[in-house]
Amino acid sequence: MFTGRMIVRAVAMAGVGVVVGVLGTAVHRGYSPWGLVLALALVLSAALLARAWAGWLGMLLLAVGTFSSVSVLAGPGPADDVLIALQPVGMVWYAGAGVVFLAALAPSRWFSDRPVEPGTRGAAEAGAGVSTPGMTDAGRTGA
């Protein structure tokens, strides 16, 4: 069921999740509220990448990597200082791994490799199958 390529991609998404968690933790309090917005946008874009590239397993491992790195960084440091303070910005960022599940709500057609058939809604939006006066079939297909 799972190919080697799919497993490698999913494991890579766990590594990307760790990096996203570390980077998001680093910027979430900077330039409030834009640092938090940037960090959450980073998580969402990584989740969309994971869904497109590695499927549901990749999204799950990305969420695990993000949440685990944020959880580790949320603990007290050597001098009892914290990177994620118990403030609204910190609490929103700590729950930021949940943003991965927004990618789960995206339509599956965004991630499909199937070509769009002429006459379907997607083809009409892209302008395929629209004829103009004087256009031949060869002109419409680009041949």
CB 11 within 8 A of CB 67: no
CB 47 within 8 A of CB 102: yes
Distance of CA 38 to the CA centre of its chain: 13
pLDDT at 123: 46
- Between CA 66 and CA 40 the distance in angstroms is 11
Tell me the average confidence (pLDDT) per consecutive run of 10 residues in the chain, 143 residues long: 85 94 90 89 93 89 92 87 84 82 82 75 51 53 51
- Between CA 123 and CA 115 the distance in angstroms is 10
